[in-house]
Structures are given as C-alpha cells and as structure tokens.
Copies of this chain bind each other. A is one copy, B any other.
Amino acid sequence: MLSATVEDYIKAIYALQRESPTGDAAVTRLAAALGVTNGTVTAMTHKLKGAGLVKAERYGGMRLTAKGSRLALDVIRRHRLVEVFLVDVLKFDWSEVHDEAERLEHALSPALIERLDAFLGHPTIDPHGAPIPDAKGRLSETPAVAVNTLAKGTHATVARVAGREPAFLALAAKHGLRPGAACTIVEQVPEAESVTLVVTGHPPVALSHRTATRVLVHPVAAAGRPASVCRKGSKPKV
C-alpha cells in the first residue's frame, strides 16, 4: 500500500508540473509546497523512482510516469469528491473544506469512493469548480478564461475559483463568486493591473490581475444586447 506521504508528494508533483513551462517539477518548489527541506525531497525522489512513479535524473527536474499521473488523478478524485460531500451534504463552508479533505483523501478505500460518488450523483466539478477525474482517471477540463483577460462590460458565468487560501476563498464567497454565478466586468484598468467585477446581488470586487487569474469564467455571448465580449488575446477597447 502506498503511504499518505507518497500520495502527497505525487499530488504536489502533479500540480507543479501543470504550472511549470518545462513540464517538470523542481526539488526546491516541491519542498516549499510540502513544507519539507530539499534533502527530504531528494530522498523521497529516489523512493518514488524506485516505485516507478516518477522519472528523474541527477540535477534534473522530475516528472510523473503514466503510473504516477494515474495515482495523482486518483488522489485528486478522492480529494474533490470529499469536498463536494463536505459542502453539499454536511454544509461546510467553502473556505474550510480544504484541510479536512486533505486528511480524508488518504483514508478512503476505492469501494467507499465509488459509493460516495454515486451517493453524490456523480458530480463533475467540486465546490470550487475544479473538475473531478472519473473512476478511470480521466479529467475533462472545460476551457475557461481568467477574468483579467476580459474587457469591461463582458458578461460571463463563473466557472471556477482556484486557490486554497481561506482568506481569498472567503472574499470570493462574500462577493458571490462561486461556480455558476453570472458576473459582469465593470472595470478594467490595465495600467493598474486591476479588474473589477460584480455578481448580481453582491457588492463589486476589485482584483489585481495576479489574483484575477484564479477566477475563471465562461464569457456569455451577448444575446441581443450590446455588451462587448472579449475573448482570450484580444485587447479591451476602453
């Protein structure tokens, strides 16, 4: 059986690979993500290599093997299903579920996960809008764009609020920023790297572009109304 520690490493490597341009994870980054020292990561890397979960060579970055990726997706599936359960069934708040899920994801048997999945109605996204891999480890990512790339006046539907910091998640919740909510870009100031958006019925919220990359939306095609829609790459005409 694979230890909880191994699962945590694999999950962290998976996440680092996704946000790395070269597609491989660096020791120092991984150490920071897991809160351990570099030496500890190097030691664990040997173990993971021995288990056939990662490929790595001395002084080079590491990369998950097919087997490693499969395990990562398995752990992510467990994590996200638990989050759905905690929020939808036990009525936990959005911002507090992460740590709880972090512990639980290592204690659920495959049988339990499949029953939980069925009980929850086979959800496809977690409470933050992150996609849930299926039982075979398939992940279907809906293309979505970050709000910092959108022009003033754009109408959109919130697809996902990424990030784990409770403070940020609490802010998002306070302003109605949850998957499915309809929002509008009310201000876009490139010079200040600031974007302001509003969800109907909630106070507007100004985000730095850096923060705004964590808020992903599906722009809504203007149906008979003159709202400008600005897709990825095009510049706002303000």
Task: Give chain A's interface residues, CB within 8 Å of chain B.
Answer: 86, 89-92, 96, 100, 103-104, 106-109, 111-112, 115-116, 119
Contact = CB atoms under 8 A, between A and B. Distances in A.
Nearest to A92: B115
A107 B115 contact: no
B115 A91 contact: yes
Q: By CB atoms of chain B within 10 A, which of A89, A107, A108, A112 has the most?
A: A107
When A and B form their complex, which 5 residue pairs have the shortest distance between CB atoms, in order from nearest? A107-B107, A90-B115, A103-B107, A104-B107, A90-B119
Contacts of A108: 104
Main secondary structure of the interface of A (DSSP, over half): helix
Contacts of A92: 112, 115
A153 B103 CA distance: 51
B119 A100 contact: no
B103 A109 contact: yes
Nearest to A89: B119
Given A90-B112, A92-B112, A104-B107, 13 more contacts: A86-B112, A89-B119, A90-B115, A90-B119, A91-B115, A92-B115, A100-B111, A103-B107, A103-B109, A104-B104, A104-B108, A106-B107, A107-B107
A185 B86 CA distance: 45
A82 B79 CA distance: 18
